[in-house]
Every structure is written in C-alpha cells, then in structure tokens.
Structure 1
Amino acid sequence: MAGVERVLVLGCGGSGKSVFARRLGARTGLPVVELDTVFWRPGPVGLSRPEWVARQRELVAGPKWILDGDLGPYDVLEVRLAAADTVVLLNLSPVRCGWRALRRGRERWDFWWWVLTYRWRHLPGVRRVLAASDVDVVELRSPRAVREFLRSV
C-alpha cells in the first residue's frame, strides 16, 4: 500500500470495520478514527447532517488517516470520499455480519434493519458513489481475503 495515506473502511454493520481498521493502522502507522464515536451522541442520537458534514471536513483535513465507518442512511460519504485515496469495502455475508453484530451486543431496530437490507438497499448506492470517484477501491468478501490483505500490507 505504498503511497496510501487516506483510507476509508466501509461495510455493513458487523463486517469487522473497526477491527480491520485498527489492524491496518497498526501495520501502516496511520492514525485510526472510528466514526461511530464521532457521529453518535448519548441516546444514541446522531449529529445533524450539517454538523456531520462539518465534523467530517475537520477529520479529513489531516494529512494521514484511516476513517472507519459506514453510517448507512445517516451518512454523507461524499465528504470523506473526496479526500480519500483508498477505500476498503468489507462485503461479507449478511449472516456473518448479523452473527458478529449479535455477539457484540444490543443494537437498535434501525441498525438491524440496515444489516438485513445492506446488500440490496445500501450497497448499490455505495458502489455508485465509489464508481464515480477517482479513489482506489479494494473489496474484500471473506475473512480469508481480509487476512490475506492485511498480511500483504
């Protein structure tokens, strides 16, 4: 990943974005920001769209980063994408994502709806936005592909 300094990690809830981002950060030395901790306030209540856009602009102003997060219907991906040089899209099976999310703890109903419908409702839009950008996209579809990618970095 020579020359890679601004990485977005996207994928369905439970796909392993945060673990992947931390491991990638450890291997590359790039600082990692978990977007869930920035977007969600207690309740959980998300930032308003203008607040989220402004906060993302602050985050991408740094010279090097890994931003981990896909906020589904709450997201404004274009802000991060305009500053990124690479996107890693974790596209694991819905069953695996659901199982991982279930193991990690309680979630709101809208989270589960997003996980269940990610592949046919959200992922096509993400793919369209990615295709219209100049960013390099790496799609990983299995835990094995994730391990092999991290080993290659």
Structure 2
Amino acid sequence: MQRINVIGTSGSGKSTFSQKLADALGYPYIEMDALFWQPNWAESTDEAFFATLEQALASPQWVLDGNYHRTVPIKWRQVDTIIWVDYSLTRTLFQAVKRAITRCLSQQELWPGTGNRETFQKTFLSRDSIVWWTMKTYSKNRARYLAVMADPNFAHIRFVQLRTPAQANQLIQQLKEKKTLVTEPRSNA
C-alpha cells in the first residue's frame, strides 16, 4: 500500500480515517476538498483542480481523502489501494449532523486560508446543505462503488470495504504493527 484513495459518502468519517491512516503509515495526507474549495466557497475550475491534484499526487506515497468522481482518471492512474468507508446510512447521517453542528458552533475554518466556515443556514437550510447532500448521495455512492469494485478495468486495484468503525480501527492497528515490524532493527543475538 503506497498510494491509497479513501472514499465514502460525505459524513462517513473518511477524513478522520484518512488522517489516522496517513499518520500510521507516515505518508502525506491529501484532502481533495482542500484542493478544490477556494475562499468564499468558490469552486475551482476543473482545469485548476486537476492540475493541483496532479501535483499533489506526484510523490511516491500518499493517502488521498475524497471522492470527486470526475477525477478518477487522474487519482486512480497510480493508485494501488482504495479503501471505502461504507458505514450504514444511519451512522453516516448521524456523523454528518454531529460534525455539522460541531463546525457551526466552533466556527472553525475548514481549509486554511479559505475563510470557509459552516453556518447553520448553509448547513441545514440551504440546497447546499451537507446533510441533504449526504442523504441524497448515499445510495448512489454505494451503487457506484459496488460497480467499481466489480469492474474488470479496475482489477489491478486492491479494494478494502470497511463496514464498521471497528474494522477501520483494526486495519489501522494492523498497519501500525506491520510498520513497527518492518522498521525495528534486527538483533544480532
């Protein structure tokens, strides 16, 4: 596992998992939302977004956090592993709402230098609502990712489907242990 894309519906926990995975492996963490969103919630053009993504993926090892289906030809060109955070709709929706409330209350800037913050209005009462987006895309994403896993064009990619947080934690623990075994010096005894 050298080049990993973590995918999943908004609110699934893919960013939290991706950061933990990158830390466990010692790989750079790349968040696609941070590459895409500009100040004042302006969207990058595809041309600019694709160029930024290409540059971010130039290193030999990385954990890429994000979907953006239109970027598949770029991000999966060299990917060797795709990890799908595929929790239940109930859990995903709960996590999306909890995260949205926390961000609204804390007013934390989502991506440094953008000034983008979640507001109650935008998060819960607009057509751009992340909660609505989660509900709207959950089933579509599941169907898409199940199809991708079965697609012979992607047979060279290792797919890992995580259905529970326990599975996610177990995978990270296994990778930490494996890395420890690889990096520990051998004794001369």
TM > 0.5 fold call: yes
Which of 4, 9, 14 aligns to 2:11? It is 14
Aligned to 2:127: 109
Aligned to 1:93: 88
Shift of 1:104: 1.5
Q: Which has the higher contact order (CA 8 A, sep 6+)?
A: 1
Aligned partners of 2:44, 2:148: CA distance in 1, in Å?
A: 22
Which of 38, 41, 47 aligns to 1:41? It is 38
Structure 2 gap segments, 5+ residues each: 101-117, 176-189
Aligned partners of 2:62, 2:171: CA distance in 1, in Å?
A: 18
Q: Superposed, which structure 2 residues align to 1:137-148 within 5 Å?
A: 137-148=159-170
Which of 7, 26, 31 aligns to 2:28? It is 31
Aligned partners of 2:145, 2:73: CA distance in 1, in Å?
A: 10
Aligned to 1:52: 49
Shift of 1:5: 1.0
Code of the residue aligned with 1:38 in structure 2: it is: L
CA 126–52 in structure 1, closer or farther in 2 if over 3 Å, else same: farther
Aligned partners of 1:91, 1:60: CA distance in 2, in Å?
A: 24
Indicate if the aligned counterparts of 1:78 and 1:129 stay in contact, CA closer than 8 A. Answer: no
Per the normalisation by structure 1, the TM-score is 0.85
Aligned to 1:118: 137
Code of the residue aligned with 2:144 in structure 1: it is: G
Could you say what secondary structure the match of 1:67 adopts?
strand
- Greater shift in the superposed pair: 89-98 or 122-131: 122-131
Cα RMSD between the aligned structures?
A: 1.9
Percent same amino acid among aligned pairs? 26
Shift of 1:7: 0.6
